[in-house]
A and B are shown apart, each in its own frame.
Chain A
Amino acid sequence: MAKPTVAPVMRQGKFVPWLYLLPAIIVMSIFILYPMINTVNLSFQNASGTASAETTCREGQACWGAFENYRYALTNELNTSSAKAFWNSFWVSSYGNMVKWLVGMVSGTVIIGLLFAVWVDGIKSEALAKSIIFMPMAISFVGAGVIWKFVYNYGTSQVQTGILNAIISAFGGDPVAFLSKVPLNTFMLIIVGTWMWTGFCMTLLSAAIKSIPEEIIEASRIDGATDYKIFTKIQVPIIMPTIIVVITTMVINVLKLFDIVYVMTGGNYGTNVLATRMYTEMYANSQYGRGTAIAVILILFIVPFIIMNIRRFIKEEAMR
């Protein structure tokens, strides 16, 4: 870009722009910068933030010095006695569950959202169908958790109050404890998350599909393309930037996920994720050092995706 020529009167000094930014900088410093610095600081200290984390090391145990809280956050859930034990413990640890959530919920919401956006595109009751899919977004996470807890309810008596188990026993099956059976439970939770967020993905993707010029679709039809071909070769490539934005947004959402797990299982039965673990360490155990260490790890996971999102955003802005 060529440097714009500005009349000398209009030229600002080096100082003036900072004045404009000052209110934002002050607010950001108080609410974002200071808590962040303090979080990092606390993560290198003991439970109450009064001494270095190194002092919590026990003799004869592994110790990472000042990084002791990070050792706890990263390895405490894992059983390193054998490769098999490690593998098993990884898949019920908060990290293993994070992987399940990322794969399950991100692909679930994006794929179902995309298919639905294409499928209802142009049909008569499109608005109605979309509203129904979007509806769960209007429910709070906690509310959704409670609703689905009832859906998955496992009764011990003859009558099943949970609708899923009622259906299963009506067909003569044995009721299933959906929320405590490992590894089924995490996938049942992922279904709840997918149910909530599919509408969000669908709305964004549907808007992108609608912005594809009609001529392109028509031209391809004249060339004899089938619906499937139009979808895979025309629509998806054109809306790819939107798909990527939706994916990165969902990844950030999933990494931050807390409510569904906390409400439905409390992180028990091997369903812990990083955010629920952080909560337990901070507020149930009063282990501020460990809690903040998990928080920092969580931030480190999320930052690359935020950067990706911002980069894309800047690029799109530049194209306008």
Chain B
Amino acid sequence: MKHFRKSYIITAVLLVLALVLGACTKPAPTKPVEPLATEEPKVQEPVKEDPVVGDIDCTGVKEGDAVSMLYQWSGEEEAKLTAILTPWMEACKTTVNPESSRDQALLDTRVQAGTPPDIAFWNVPQLTQYKDKLVPMDTLGANKANYAGYWGDIGTIDGKWLGLPVKADPKTLVWYSPAAFTAAGYTVPTTWAELDALVEKMAADGNVAWSLGMESGDATGWTGTDFIQDILLVTKGPDFVSSIIAGDIPYNDPAVKEAYEIYGKWAMDAKYTVAGAEGTLSTGFNDAILKVFSDTPEAFMVKQSGFASGTLLGTYPDKVYGKDYDFFGVPGAQGLQGGSDWLMVFNDTPAVRSLVKYLSSNKGGETWATIGFDLTPNAAGNAFYATEEMMKKAELLSSATGFTPDIGDSIPGGFGSAEFKGITDYVNGGDLDAILDSIAAAQADAMNQ
């Protein structure tokens, strides 16, 4: 008995240790190192005659002016942002006081307390949320000419242009192997009808077109709902998707049902996708990517975000872009879906104006693209990306006619998980009408709160 007790105590101590260690490995602290803010003030330089230094407009900025900012990036991403801001800081002799946190509650608290950061890099919904507190971009002198029209539309709330899009990562992509396509005599489709015909042709040839695996632990289903949103962008366009997000169109709309049926036709049939419904449900989303690029490929195409190239290179490092793997935008999609980050301004100061002008200028776009922090919506950056892959994505983005955030991420409460559960149940043979009704109920719930 004595020994028994002892072993319990040891186990308990180990458990406590494990907990403590677990607590220590928590994600990055909210307050990161401030690499540039702590620099010693520079020796006084003679006052410049011309406020424009190089391509950067520093009008009204006094040396040592600081801009406080809050964003969600940390680590490598944060370093990239710092690198992008460095030319501006050097030219205008300014500093930044950055804070990094993924917790939106922090931003909410600051804004409500009347002590917001000068600028915040956050998501689209915050433009509406803080619309009364934000300084319009026109006042700040942002250069609208560098942005496609739809960016202005998304950033305009109640007739005021409140947000500057700084970063975008489109997901409306289909990855394939050019080598395999050439060998089988297939060509990249340019319209939805062509894609449909290509899929049918592959099926007729006895080839499997899609690798649609959607398993992802308790988030199983998200590759499916991404696909649904892309189909909606093809059949209905970005305004329709935005209306779903706004709650104006219920999720059980006939067009959504049609999108599910188009998807379901492929996702549930072994003729079109790897191992049919069971394969779709049980294959992990990363495995689904690899199945297209393995030595004996099981499918010809996989619809996935930009990270697909990283996943496949992680397993097959010898694959070459353009030869072994490539992508095309979902053909016929009127607009893209993906993540985007927006600059919003709470305090109008000369330094903030200068920063906004810099990021929206040709120079700003060029720097963003050269550093390669995903894509910049600033069209001036298009020619400056480091890799062909980025170039092609940028082309896709600049030729797009709209940009929508992920529906599931944009509606709060239980909508996201209802959507995941819904598509999983549908592929598993559930009744589509009942499923869409239950997702629409979650959507209505969210609008009610």
A→B interface (CB under 8 Å):
46-47, 56, 58, 61, 76, 79, 81, 85, 154, 156-157, 177, 179-182, 262, 266-270, 276, 280-281, 284-287, 290
Contact = CB atoms under 8 A, between A and B. Distances in A.
A281 B414 contact: yes
A221 to B, nearest CB: 34
Contacts of B283: 156
Nearest to B447: A58
Given A157-B296, A179-B282, A270 B275 contact: no
B218 A268 contact: yes
B220 A268 contact: yes
Contact of A180 (B274, B282, B420, B421): B282
Question: Which secondary structure characterizes the binding site on chain A?
Answer: loop
B57 interface: no
B449 A47 contact: yes
Interface residues of B, number: 33
Given A182-B428, A284-B218, A284-B417, A156 B281 contact: no
Interface in B401-449: 412-414, 416-417, 420-421, 424-425, 428-429, 434, 438, 441, 444-445, 448-449
Given A181-B278, A280-B218, A287-B414, 14 more contacts: A154-B275, A154-B282, A177-B278, A177-B279, A177-B282, A179-B282, A262-B218, A266-B219, A268-B281, A269-B281, A270-B428, A284-B416, A284-B417, A286-B412
Contacts of A285: 413-414, 416-417
Contacts of A180: 278, 281-282, 428
A89 to B, nearest CB: 8
A149 to B, nearest CB: 10
B163 interface: no
Interface of B: 217-221, 274-275, 278-279, 281-283, 291, 296, 298, 412-414, 416-417, 420-421, 424-425, 428-429, 434, 438, 441, 444-445, 448-449
A270 B422 CA distance: 11
Contacts of B217: 266
Nearest to B429: A182
Contacts of B438: 76
A180 B218 CA distance: 13
Contact of B413 (A47, A156, A267, A269): A47
Contact of B291 (A81, A156, A262): A156
24 contacts: A47-B413, A47-B449, A56-B445, A154-B279, A156-B275, A156-B279, A156-B283, A157-B291, A157-B298, A177-B278, A177-B282, A180-B281, A182-B428, A266-B217, A266-B218, A268-B421, A269-B281, A269-B425, A270-B425, A270-B428, A281-B414, A285-B417, A287-B413, A290-B414
A280 B298 contact: no
Contacts of A276: 218
A268 B221 contact: yes
Nearest to B425: A270
Contacts of B429: 182
Contact of B448 (A58, A156, A177, A179): A58
Contacts of B421: 268
Given A156-B275, A180-B278, A266 B220 contact: yes
B446 to A, nearest CB: 9
Contacts of B424: 268-269
A283 B444 CA distance: 20
Contacts of B412: 286
Contacts of B445: 56, 58
Nearest to B217: A266
Given A177-B282, A285-B416, A286-B412, A269 B218 contact: no
A268 B430 CA distance: 13
B420 to A, nearest CB: 8
Those 8 A-B pairs whose CB atoms lie nearest each other, nearest first? A266-B218, A177-B278, A156-B275, A285-B414, A180-B281, A154-B282, A156-B279, A156-B274
A269 B428 contact: yes
Contacts of A47: 413, 449
A286 B417 contact: no
Contacts of A182: 428-429
A182 B429 CA distance: 9
B217 to A, nearest CB: 5
A172 to B, nearest CB: 18
A157 B279 CA distance: 10
Nearest to A285: B414
B316 to A, nearest CB: 16
Contacts of B414: 281, 284-285, 287, 290
A266 B420 CA distance: 11
B250 to A, nearest CB: 12
Given A156-B274, A156-B291, A269-B281, A58 B220 contact: no
B207 to A, nearest CB: 14
B449 A267 contact: no
